[in-house]
Amino acid sequence: MTSGIKRLNVLLGLGIFAFLFVPWYRVERGFYSFDWIAGFPFSSDQAPGLFQILSEGRLWLAVALILFLVGIGSRLIGNEDQRGKVLVIAGAAGIIFMALQGLAISFTGWAWTFPENAFGALSLGQPAMGAGAVLVSLIFVLFIAFGLAERGFMKGDAFVVGSISMLIFLVAVFIFYPIGSMFVGAVHDFDGSFKPDGFIRNMQDPAIWSLDCVIGGNRCGVAWRTLFLAVLSGLGSTILGLAFALAATRTRFPFKRGLRLLTVLPIITPPFVIGLALTLLFGRSGVVTEALDTLFGIEPSRWLYGLTGIWIAQVLSFTPISFLVLIGVVEGVSPSMEEASQTLRADRWRTFWHVSLPLMKPGLANAFLIGFIESMADFGNPLVLGGSHGVLSTEIFFAVVGSQVDPSRAAVLAIILLSFTLSAFLAQRLWLSGKNYATVTGKGDSGVHAGLPKSLSITVHGIVLPWMGFTLIVYGMIIFGGFVKTWGLDNSLTLEHYARAFSIGFQDGALVWTGVAWNSFWTTMEIALISAPLTAAVGLLTAYIIVRQKFAGKNAFEFALMMSFAIPGTVIGISYIMAFNLPPIEMTGSALILIACFVFRNMPVGVRGGIAAMSQLDKSLDEASLTLRANSARTLRKVILPLLRPAITAALVYSFVRAITSISAVIFLVSAEYNMATSYIVGLVENGEYGIAIAYSSMLIFVMITVITGFQLLVGERKLRRENRVAGVAKSNKFQIAQEKTA
């Protein structure tokens, strides 16, 4: 008996189990409550697939059963090639059928009109898919995978083919299906009827597209304002980032270690916190505003609330990211190029201007595009500082939760935002790829970087020092703000905010979490802890497949995965609501939707980290394992994963931290039961309870610093003596991942 038959047996057994013993549809009170066992298997809601067909009269499910039986039948075919073919066909037909029936038949019957005309009305509809239906769908996916493996695809490696099929399936369900639903939602009404009016009206809305400001009129449309802001934020953070990078590498700047610390900040700062700190400084009752008022009689104004304020907050937030990108670029310029230039009678200024800077150009463009995408995707700062002058991401939010709920408008705005960020992403991938002048080669490249020309050096210091000071003040505000009674009005120190947020009491001899923040705090920790290992696993598996396996369509696969990174969180949020609120897949209000959102939004981080780490592992290690009788699953487990431990830890930590700081997608997906820390804080800000908001934010920052340093200490101790094949993995990873922070 070959291994092919063995694994097929397991799969078929699982399928029979799914049809006989698992509730087909979604169980209202949750699958894991196991309440459903009481009514099992004959109640309409909780019956498994077979009983849905036989006793409930949901006859269309018989098609799935028949396709599954075809799979069982293939077991009898001796010829591997033909068995594979039958399995692939049955699996593909099964998956297509499951998707079609899910979309076509809703609670009340046909969701579409044409099948109703063709087949006649249905007497009963169906609820959302449950454990049984999901299991059967996955089994159909594995039918395809095993069938392809039998036919010798990927050298007959079922584990690899299975992983690829599962990943494609999951990405399709959790990224492309929601985005698709959003496009469909833009032209449909609530009841699902086709109604493009809303779409057309919104698309032509002058509030979005007006160019009034150019011709001296009032204000430009929100699309242009967002674009304008993104360009300025990209420019600002790139210039500042370059100044910081030059200061850190090309000058005798006194606080270089401090500069490096700066790079950690964007990772641990929840995205709206900078905006919050700015309000405390420059808002109407901010420290600086009041000081100016009393000293010089300058009237307090609301200048901060609008594009200017958002721009300052974004430049503050994104400069460290751009610094991190550019420090690699600046160091990547080979010193020997600069030395060559100097021996060719060029002075420092000429060397910098004609050699160093041109070599950095692609890196600068890259930093700009990252800043641009970050600014577009930023939700926290505009929410806090935007006031009535919103940007796309906040407009989307208000179109869903505001006074006028208009899903079509939200979808249109999301589509516009998505097309901006995707264009920038495409520019980054297509235009910049292959234009990398990174002159770091494997060869030892000795030599000393040329110093900066005097005038430039002074400029760089002139930019870096004040900005560092500004950043310090801003973060100082965040810590300090939590201890002040009422900002601007009553500046006496107090612990009241911390007490209200994090108090603990004893009642009847038991510990009671009486603080208002605990509920969302523990939910956040729980969700972050669940999603972090999943994110790391999916990300690293993907990285393994991308780095180590060759298959047709690999580039498209990688591209699609990385593209999901350019989708702003707000867009993901709105598309998840539109996709997962109704059958066939209903997840809104559950913890599952938050976890799915985190896993698929943060996965690219794990992928990039994994790719970087795995590229440094000699491929012959895998091959040696394969020739030593280990299959690819064992190879992954015994050889690759142990050697990737630093990368795994990094992926775990960063997906954990990102799950805690993320706001843009989360704010759409939280529910009363599962509220996350960030959305709770934003709620506090909206109610004007700055004190608690700030206290809670500092607490989050503190928790994340603890977690990161804890993990660093754990990972830092481990290394393989004298082994340089894996050295540097941890370092390069941190570097990679830190670039990926988004709102």
Partner 1 sequence: MTDLKAGSVVFENVRKDFGSFTAVPDLSITIEPGTLVTLLGPSGCGKTTTLRMLAGLEHPTSGRIFIGGRDVTMVPAHERDVSMVFQSYALFPHMSALDNVAYGLESSGLKKKEAHERAEEGLAQVGLAGMGHRLPAELSGGQQQRVAVARALVLNPQVLLLDEPLSNLDARLRRRVRTEIRELQQRLGFTAVYVTHDQDEALAVSDRIVVMKDGRIAQEGAPRELYEEPVSEFIADFMGEANVVSCEILDHEGNNAIIDIGGIRHKLRSRGASKGKAKLAVRPGSVVLNPTDTSGLGGEIVTAAYLGDHVEYEIETSVGNFFVIDHAVDQSYAPKTAVSLGFRNRGLALIEG
Q: Which stretch binds partner 1 (CB under 8 A): 61-69, 240-248, 595-603, 720-728?
A: 720-728
Structure tokens at 407: 């899903």
Q: Which stretch binds partner 1 (CB under 8 A): 115-123, 444-452, 560-568, 717-725?
A: 717-725
CB-count burial class (<10 Å; 0-12, 13-18, 19+) for 70: middle
State the minimum distance, in angstroms, from the CB of residue 160 to partner 1: 10
Cα dist. 568→73, 539, 573, 730, 741 in Å? Answer: 46, 19, 9, 28, 12
Pairing outcome for strands 490-493 and 105-106: unpaired
Out of 538, 599, 726, 730, point to the residue binding partner 1 (CB under 8 A). Answer: 726
State the minimum distance, in angstroms, from the CB of residue 631 to partner 1: 5
Size of the site for partner 1 (CB under 8 A): 29
Using omega within 30 degrees of 0 as the cis cutoff, is the peptide bond preceding 41 cis?
yes
Nearer to partner 1, 490 or 723 (CB): 723
Q: How many whole angstroms separate alpha carbon 230 and alpha carbon 220?
A: 15
Give φ, ψ of 512 to 5 degrees. Answer: -125, 130
Nearer to partner 1, 288 or 626 (CB): 626
Does 551 engage in binding with partner 1 (CB under 8 A)?
Answer: no
Structure tokens at 479: 């810590």
R_g over Cα of the chain? 28
State the minimum distance, in angstroms, from the CB of residue 618 to partner 1: 6
Out of 157, 338, 374, 586, point to the residue binding partner 1 (CB under 8 A). Answer: 157
Does 722 engage in binding with partner 1 (CB under 8 A)?
Answer: yes
Question: Which x/- pattern, by CB under 8 A, does the window 595-634 give for partner 1?
Answer: -----------------------x-xx-xxxxxxxxxx-x
Q: Which residue has the tokens 């592992």?
A: 617
Structure tokens at 690: 């700055």
Structure tokens at 574: 């709105």
Out of 37, 211, 458, 720, point to the residue binding partner 1 (CB under 8 A). Answer: 720
- 443, containing H or E segment: none
**Cβ–Cβ < 8 Å for 271, 380:** yes
Does 642 engage in binding with partner 1 (CB under 8 A)?
Answer: yes
Does 636 engage in binding with partner 1 (CB under 8 A)?
Answer: no
Q: Report the Cα 467 to chain-centroid distance in Å.
A: 29
Nearer to partner 1, 361 or 637 (CB): 637
State the minimum distance, in angstroms, from the CB of residue 87 to partner 1: 17
Does 714 engage in binding with partner 1 (CB under 8 A)?
Answer: no
Q: How many whole angstroms separate alpha carbon 677 and alpha carbon 667?
A: 10
Q: Which stretch binds partner 1 (CB under 8 A): 188-196, 262-270, 555-563, 637-645?
A: 637-645
Nearer to partner 1, 342 or 631 (CB): 631
Structure tokens at 184: 């469909």
State the minimum distance, in angstroms, from the CB of residue 643 to partner 1: 6
Judged by CB under 8 A, the chain residues 113 through 152 that form the site for partner 1 are 152
Residues 6+ apart with CB under 8 A from 605: 535, 539, 651, 654, 655, 658, 737, 740
**Cβ–Cβ < 8 Å for 559, 368:** no
Out of 109, 125, 156, 683, point to the residue binding partner 1 (CB under 8 A). Answer: 156
State the minimum distance, in angstroms, from the CB of residue 622 to partner 1: 8
Handedness of CA 404, 410, 411, 415 (dihedral sign): positive
Cα dist. 32→23, 27, 37, 520 in Å? Answer: 12, 9, 10, 22
Nearer to partner 1, 219 or 637 (CB): 637
**Cβ–Cβ < 8 Å for 449, 335:** yes
- List residues binding partner 1 (CB under 8 A): 3, 152, 155-157, 618, 620-621, 623-632, 634, 638-639, 642-643, 720-723, 725-726
